[in-house]
Amino acid sequence: MASLLLPLLLALATAATSATTGRLVPYDLLYADGVRAYLAREWTRAAELLQRSLHSYAGLREARSACCHACHDEVAFVRGPAAPWDAAFFDQVLQRADCLQHCLGRRLGGPPSAHRVSHAIRRDFEQREPYNYLQVAFFQLKKLDQAVSAAHTFFVANPQHLQMREDIEKYRRMSGVKSDSFRDLEATPLWEAYEAGVQHYNADEYLQAVARLEESLREALSALEECRALCEGPWEEEEEEEEKEEKEDMQPGLYEAIAAHYVQVLKCRQQCVLEIATKPGRISATEDFIPSHLDLLQFAYDQVGNQTLAAECAASYLLFYPMDEPMLEKMNQYRTELGEDTAVTARENIQHYVQRSLMEKKLIYYAVEHLGGTFNDPDLWTPDELIPENLKEQHREDQEKQKQDTLDVEEREKKGPLPFEGIIVTMDSRQMNGTQRVVFDRVLTESECRDLLRLTKAAGGTGDGYRGRRSPHTPHERFEGLTVLKAVQMAQNGDVDWKDAKLLLQASEKSRKIIESYFTPGKKLHFSFTHLVCRTAVEGEQESRMDLSHPVHADNCLLDPEGNECWREPPAYVYRDYSGILYLNDDFQGGGLFFTELDTVTVTAKVYPKCGRLVAFSSGKENPHGVWAVSRGRRCAVALWYTHSQEHAEQNQGSARGGAIPRSERWGKWNR
C-alpha cells in the first residue's frame, strides 16, 4: 500500500540528483551503497548516501503523484461517432501512458523503469529503516542533534523497537542534547492538527477546535489523493513462489490481466483511508476517520453559533450514515432554526469522496463475486445493499470459522504432546485458575542453569552493554539484561564462552518448541523478543519496601483496572501471542510470579522460581501478571515472547543463529 509523502524531505530532493546530469538517482542504489558504507564504518559517506536515498525516495513519490494528477487533467476521453468502445478506451489508455512516461522522464531525468525496486526495499523505507542506520552514523560523527532526530523519527514509527527505546533514553540523559532535537523528520500536519483539534474539543474550546479540525480534514483529504495517485504502480504478484510456478502456463488474457491489475489498484485506493487514518507507530487506524471529523465539526460549529456550517457538516455526515437518528434530529433542528427556505447541502468534496468510493466498492465487489479474490472493506459505513448476497454469506462463514479457530483452551492443551523427554507439566490452566497457563519443570538441568548464570556474570564483567542499572520498574533493584545477539557478539569478541552463548540459543529454541507444541500444535510460533534478565536487590533499601519488582501488566494490551478491560493497541506489543519465563535459580528471596484478575488485585495463581522451570501463558488480557519484589539476592531468568506473525519476528534470533550476518548491524548498535 502506498504510504504518506515525506513532506519535510521533498524540498531537499534535489540533493539526490546526479551533479552532472540532473538525474534522480534511484533510491535503492543509494540505500545499498549507504548500507555498505555503514558496514565498512565509513560514517561520513554512509550518512551522505542514506540521506540522499531518503531524498530520492521523497522525490520519486512527489513526481509520481504530480504526474498522475497532471495526466489525469490533460488526457480527456473523446469517442468519435464511429469509433468502437474498445478503440476509444485504449486510445485514452495509450495517451495516459504516454503522458505519464514523458512526465516522469522529465521529472526524474531518466527512464521511470530505473526506479522500480523490490518489495523488501519499499518496506524498509515505509518503516523508516534508513533512519535506524543514520542515527548511528551521526552518533559516530559526533553530530548529536542529527542523531537524535534520526533516532526519534525511526522510533515514532517503530515504538516496539526495544533497542531504539533504550537509545532514545540514553540520548535524553546526555548533556548537550537539545530537547527540540527530538522531532519527527517525517511528521505531517495532519496528526498535529487532528490531535490538537480533539484536545480543544474535549476542553470545550470549540472555536479553536473548529480551526484545527478543518485543517486536519483538509490535510486528510489531500493525503488521501496523494496515496490514491501512488496506487497506480506496477502489478504486484500476491501469490507464493510455488503457486507462481504452477501457473506459469496459465497466463491471463488481455481483459483478464487488465481487470486483475485494475482491481488491485481499486483495492489499494480503498485502503488509503486506513493509511491516512493510522498514526505512525500505531497498528490500527482511527475508526471512521473522515465521518468523525464531520461529526465533531457539526457539534463544534453549533456550539459557536454557526448553524449554517453545522448544518452543512451534518448533511455531509449523513452521506455516510443516512439513517443516523441523532444526526437526523439535528438536521431537523437546523432547518427549523435556519428556515425551511434555506438550502442545506453536503460539502461538494465530501459528496465526491462518497460517490467515488461507492463506485469503486461496487466494481470491487463485482470482481470478487464473478472473478474471485477477496476484499477487506476498510469502511464501516458501506451500505449493506452494496454487498452481493453470496458474499454476505461468505462473510458470516468467515466469522464462524474465526470462532471455531478460537478453540477451548483445555482441548487445545490436550492436543499438544511435548517434544522432549523428561519434561513434566507441574501445573496446567485448571490448577492455575485461569486459561492458557502452564508450568513445565526439568526444561534445563542444574548444570545448564549454572552455565547460563556464568554467562550473566561474564557479561557483567565486560562492562559492555550489561552494566547493572536501577530497574525501570523499581528503585530498590538493579536490572541487567542480555539479548541473544549481544551474547553471540560478545562470544565473537572473546568476552564470554562460546559454549555458554550457544546454550542460551539452544535454551530459548527449546522453550519455543515446547510452548508451540503445547499451545499451538501445527501453527508456527516465531520469536518476538528474548532477554536474559537478572534482578538484584539493592542492599540497605529493602526495609519497609511496598512496591513490586514488576507491576501487574499484560504483554500485548494496556491494562485498565478501573474499566476491567485491557486495550490491545500501541504502545502495547499487540502482535505478541505467547510469553514464557525460563528460571535459572532460586537462591534469593521474593521474586515470584503471580497472575491476577483484570482488577490487578485479585491473585489467581502463584509460581515460584527454580532452575529449569518454564512458565508459559498467552499474552493477552486473560493473563495479567506481575513479579513480587526481590528482597535479597539475585534472580535470573530468560524472558521469552512469541508471535504468530512472521512480520514481527525478532531479527536478533535469526542474526544470532546465522553468526555475524550484516543485517544484525541494525540491532544493538549503541555499544559499537
Catalytic residue among 41, 635, 666, 672: 635
The Cα 494–Cα 486 span in angstroms is 12
The Cα 13–Cα 56 span in angstroms is 6
CB < 8 Å & 24+ apart, contacts of 201-210:
201/296, 201/300, 204/303, 206/299, 206/300, 206/301, 206/303, 206/304, 207/304, 209/296, 209/300, 210/297, 210/300, 210/301, 210/304
Q: List the helix and strand counts (H, then E) for the chain.
A: 22, 16
Peptide bond just before 81 cis, omega within 30 deg: no
Among this protein's residues, is 64 annotated catalytic? no
The Cα 277–Cα 288 span in angstroms is 8
CB 154 within 8 A of CB 124: no
Which among 643, 592, 619 has a CA at the least distance from the CA of 437? 619
Q: List, in sequence order, the alpha helices (H) in 109-161.
A: 119-126, 129-140, 144-157
Q: List, in sequence order, the alpha helices (H) in 372-417.
A: 389-405, 409-415
Residue 94: other Cβ atoms inside 10 A:
11
CB 98 within 8 A of CB 18: no
CB 197 within 8 A of CB 212: yes
DSSP H/E element including 57: helix 43-74
What residue type is assigned to position 537 of the chain?
A
Half-sphere exposure of 554 (CA within 13 A, CB side): 30
Q: What are φ and ψ of residue 634, in 5° steps? A: -130, 120
Q: Which residues pair with 625 in a beta bridge?
A: 553, 595
Determine the Cα angle at 14 with ends 13 and 15, to 5°.
Answer: 90
Q: What are φ and ψ of residue 429, in 5° steps? A: -60, -40
The Cα 388–Cα 525 span in angstroms is 37
Catalytic residue IDs: 635
